[in-house]
Amino acid sequence: MAEKIATREAYGNALKALGEKNEKIVVLDADLSGSTKTAVFAKAFPERFFDCGIAEANMTSMAAGMAACGKIPFISTFAVFGTGRNYDVIRSSICYPKLNVKLAMTHAGLTVGEDGATHQSLEDIALMNALPNMTVIVPADAMQAEGAVFAAAEIEGPVYLRFSRAKTPVIYPEGHRFIPGKADIIKDGKDAAIFACGVMVSKAMEAAAALSNEGIEAAVINISTIKPLDRQTVITYARKCGRVVTAEEHSVFGGLNSVISQCLSEEYPVKVKAVAVKDVFGQSGKADELMEYYALTAGEIVKAVKSF
Amino acid sequence: MENDKLSAIALRVRRNIIKMVNSASSGHPGGSLSGVEIAVLLYFEIMNIPSFSDENRDKFILSKGHASPLLYAVLCEKGLFPAEELLSFRRLSSRLQGHPDMKKLPGVEMTTGSLGLGIGAAVGMALSAKSDGKPNRIYCLCGDGEIQEGTVWEAAMAASHYKLDNFTLIIDNNGLQIDGDVAKVMSPYPIDEKLRAFGFEVVTAENGNCFDCLREAIGKLNDKNGKPKAIVAKTVKGKGVSFMENNASWHGTAPNEEQTRQALKELGEN
């Protein structure tokens, strides 16, 4: 895993490629096009790019109106503003009427780094999960990010895409086919099942390698689509492994741990250990320092697997 | 259309608003009655709607979604559904939801209900039409209390920034909101000057319950100057029913049987 690319980078490039293929794609941003990488699209298709200024709620409303006219709007800003400030709009004007808007939000989670708690969204997956008609996708690397952009355009209805600021390891090979709604078994195993999403997938792989050295074979399952959840794979691996660990760069409430626990409590009740942010806000610091401080590391996953 | 024909439609619309709200024992009669002339003039004279599936049709967005009885009564007059269906308003499984649902009822251009959001969607529609070189005009009706929502002004800024002269905002300025006089609750005044400062071409209709007055106001607006349009229509909340007029307590209260009989009598129904 030598190469590192930020998923937001892959988003920007994929968006431009998508724009070349599909004229219905329009892109709206809220004064962060350089950071969210929608500027790549804006440069290629200035007539289909609309800066909405620092007005996230109205950007979201306008996207709803454009979708009602047959466009496929991708709207972008930081995840914390793009799911929080405009929540009412996403709920009432996009999800309720099931309009075809793609919410592609970047700078999610702690890996935003130095900007601190105001800019670190740790609740966005919870907010989006709770909305009927919403699909929630958290790509694990740049390859998946690219695939997810194209997949989102094919899905009829609202999609939330969660991207990161930080450069993270590329896990999948060139040409990886992203299938929405399908969990991906990256490494098989029988002793423990580690379900991970986003930047935590590569850490889960590190953890599994370390565990393997100690004779513990952990399966690593990438849950890149949180909603709808691939329940069958989750149940199969819980049955097979018995020990279940979840890993996410998100609050322990309402994200990956919640959906997996909910599924297993109904279908196959087992203990589920969470590697997640424990009901606290973040703070300023380097991305790696923060991941360490808030216990989102391969080492923590190893500890969780051994804690049963 | 001749005023007497429009007036006949407006009268039926008013009666239906009362009947719907009475039948549901809930709903918003005051702000539905204040906007009747505005909606009737738009749908029966101003807007170009060859059919509700025509891509180039003009669109009306009821941003003050609680005035859904007004929208439903007018869409019924346009022949989108039979009058009997009006009485399903707010009932389980009805297409006529408490607030308009574009996926349930054909003719509803945008789902609204959370105040301050319909206008942003309307601006998005106008921008979509403008950037595609399409002829659609987008009309949006906001309440004067609704414009206390900050998103209204975000949308106004965007309409002006993108030079949406195909967008017309109409403020139903009936002067009352749930807690009372808008000027006392949280004054939005001066509405016209605020909109002008946001880059709108603004005219005031001194009597927003008068077809001639509204027609004259719309006629003053210049279509092709790169500016979004606004009409501040001074209306009467509860217009047409004496005991509801200018009374904030009829914002979201349904008339009982006796009050309904009285209202319908005043509206010329025997």
Which among A63, A227, A198 is positioned nearest to A135, based on CA atoms?
Answer: A227
Q: How open is the CA angle B96-B97-B103, to the nearest 5 degrees?
A: 80
Nearest residue on chain A to B118, judged by CA atoms? A61
**pLDDT over 80 at A280, yes or no:** yes
- The span from the CA of A116 to the CA of A121, in Å, is 10
The CATH number that applies at residue B42 is 3.40.50.970
* b/e code B62-92 from CB counts within 10 Å (16+ = b): bbbbbbbbbbbbbbbbeebbeeeebbbbbee
DSSP codes joined into one string, A119-150: G-BSSHHHHHHTSTT-EEE--SSHHHHHHHHH
Chain B residues with CB under 8 Å of a chain A CB are 101-103, 109-114, 117, 119-129, 131, 150-151, 154-155, 157-158, 161-162
In tens, the pLDDT along B76-120 reads 999 999 999 999 999 999 999 999 999 999 999 999 999 999 999
Q: If you average pLDDT over residues B140-145, what whole number do you get?
A: 98
Cβ contact, residue pair B124, A55, below 8 Å: no
**pLDDT over 90 at A266, yes or no:** yes
Cβ contact, residue pair A88, B120, below 8 Å: no
Q: B161 vs chain A: nearest CA distance in angstroms?
A: 9
Q: B122 vs chain A: nearest CA distance in angstroms?
A: 6
Q: B146 vs chain A: nearest CA distance in angstroms?
A: 15
Which among A257, A254, A253, A236 is positioned nearest to A245, based on CA atoms?
Answer: A257
- The span from the CA of B59 to the CA of A185, in Å, is 49
Please say whether the beta carbons of A68 and A30 come within 8 A.
no
Question: For residue A193, how far is the Cα from the chain centroid?
Answer: 20
In tens, the pLDDT along A59-97 reads 999 999 999 999 999 999 999 999 999 999 999 999 999
Q: B151 vs chain A: nearest CA distance in angstroms?
A: 6
Q: Which residue has the higher pLDDT, A1 or B218?
A: B218
Q: If you average pLDDT over residues A168-181, what whole number do you get?
A: 95
Q: What domains can be seen in chain A, in order of their start residue?
A: 4-169 (3.40.50.970), 184-306 (3.40.50.920)
The pLDDT value recorded for residue B216 is 97
- Continuous H helices in chain B: 3-24, 29-34, 36-41, 68-77, 118-131, 150-161, 182-186, 191-197, 211-219, 257-266
Nearest residue on chain A to B61, judged by CA atoms? A65
The pLDDT value recorded for residue B223 is 79
Give me the total of CB pairs closer than 8 Å, taking one residue from chain A and one from chain B: 102
- The span from the CA of A194 to the CA of A204, in Å, is 7
**pLDDT over 90 at A1, yes or no:** no
The pLDDT value recorded for residue B222 is 81
In tens, the pLDDT along B210-261 reads 999 999 999 999 878 999 999 999 999 999 999 999 999 999 999 999 999 9
Q: Which residue has the higher pLDDT, A164 or B222?
A: A164
Question: For residue B176, how far is the Cα from the chain centroid?
Answer: 15
Cβ contacts (< 8 Å) between A71 and chain B: which residues?
A: 128
Enclosing domain of residue B159: 3-266
Percent of chain B with pLDDT over 70: 100
- Give residues with Cβ within 8 angstroms of A191, minimum separation 6: A211, A216, A217, A218, A241, A242, A243, A305
- The span from the CA of A53 to the CA of A62, in Å, is 12
The pLDDT value recorded for residue B11 is 98
The pLDDT value recorded for residue B224 is 87
Sign of CA dihedral A254, A255, A261, A263: positive
Which among A188, A198, A167 is positioned nearest to A275, based on CA atoms?
Answer: A198
Which among B104, B168, B180 is positioned nearest to B139, based on CA atoms?
Answer: B168
Q: What is the mean pLDDT of chain A?
A: 97
Question: Residue A2 — very low, low, confident or very high, per pLDDT cuts 50/70/90?
Answer: low
Please say whether the beta carbons of A81 and A57 come within 8 A.
no
Cβ contact, residue pair A61, B127, below 8 Å: no
Cβ neighbours, 10 Å, residue B207:
15
Cβ contact, residue pair B162, A47, below 8 Å: no
Q: Give residue B28's identity as a one-letter amino acid code.
A: H
Q: If you average pLDDT over residues A224-248, what whole number do you get?
A: 98
Cβ neighbours, 10 Å, residue A24:
15
Cβ contacts (< 8 Å) between B124 and chain A: which residues?
A: 61-69
**pLDDT over 60 at A228, yes or no:** yes
**Number of domains making up chain B:** 1
**Which element (helix H / strand E) includes A80?**
helix A79-83
In tens, the pLDDT along B178-211 reads 999 999 999 999 999 999 999 999 999 999 999 9
Cβ contact, residue pair B158, A55, below 8 Å: yes
Considering only CB atoms, A65 lies closest to which of B114, B122, B131, namely B122
- Give residues with Cβ within 8 angstroms of A259, minimum separation 6: A129, A226, A227, A229
Cβ contact, residue pair B122, A97, below 8 Å: no
In tens, the pLDDT along A19-33 reads 999 999 999 999 999
The pLDDT value recorded for residue B75 is 98
The pLDDT value recorded for residue B103 is 97
Full strand arrangement of the beta sheet holding A159-162: A49-51, A25-29, A72-76, A102-105, A159-162, A135-137, A225-227
Residue given tokens 């990956």 in the structure block: A256
Chain A residues with CB under 8 Å of a chain B CB are 26, 47-48, 50, 52-53, 55, 57-58, 60-71, 88-89, 91-93, 96-98
Q: If you average pLDDT over residues A248-271, what whole number do you get?
A: 98
